[in-house]
């Protein structure tokens, strides 16, 4: 299953055709169809029918905020599947953007990231550290704050992202 913005769908179709995949072997849907895709998957799984093994989400950065219905629908779609998130801009605001993206394919409390079973607690504690330093140092422009953000960002890369992300430029 590929989920992509409408303008990108022809690129996916062309790529699958170039690699000799038959249209019966995949489905490509617009991001705007998440409700229908999730309903279809829930109905199929309710009756023990096979759905998708892989889910590719193009422009995945659109789901870095896990507090809306679209995110919840995508989470249903991704449940128990191999998920590939594709984005040119995975980090938009802070490294906390990664939390919800990772939660699409990892259980935040029982993940299989080496050495990071509970990344929910990891992110919560780092967010608290940064808030404390911001409060104590007097703002986001202080050297103490900036150094803390750099240190925590490096921790996120070293302890989590190195196991999940492939960067291409």
Percent of the chain with pLDDT over 90: 80
pLDDT grade, residue 144 (50/70/90)?
A: very high
List CB contacts of 113: < 8 A, sequence separation 6 or more. Answer: 106, 119, 159, 160, 163, 164
Residue 66 has pLDDT above 90, yes or no: no
- Which DSSP letter does residue 90 get? S
pLDDT tens digits, residue range 87-129? 887 666 678 888 999 999 999 999 999 999 999 999 999 999 9
Question: Over the range 64-102, which residues count as b (16 or more CB within 10 Å of their CB) and which as e?
Answer: bebeeebbebbbebbbebebebebeebbeeebbbbbbbb
Q: What is the pTM of this model?
A: 0.87
């Amino acid at each position: 299953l590929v989920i992509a913005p409408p303008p990108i769908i022809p690129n996916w179709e062309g790529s699958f055709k170039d690699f000799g995949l038959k249209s019966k072997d995949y489905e490509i849907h617009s991001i705007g169809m998440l409700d229908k895709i999730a309903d279809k998957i829930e109905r199929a799984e309710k009756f023990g029918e096979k759905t998708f093994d892989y889910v590719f989400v193009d422009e995945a950065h659109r789901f870095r905020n896990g507090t809306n219905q679209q995110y919840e629908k995508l989470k249903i779609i991704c449940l128990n599947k191999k998920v590939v998130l594709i984005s040119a801009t995975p980090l938009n605001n802070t490294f906390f953007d990664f939390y919800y993206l990772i939660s699409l394919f990892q259980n935040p409390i029982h993940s299989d990231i080496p050495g990071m079973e509970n990344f929910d607690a990891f992110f919560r504690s780092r967010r608290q550290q940064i808030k404390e330093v911001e409060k104590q140092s007097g703002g986001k422009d202080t050297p103490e704050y900036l150094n803390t953000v750099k240190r925590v960002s490096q921790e996120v890369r070293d302890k989590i992202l190195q196991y999940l992300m492939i960067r291409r430029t």
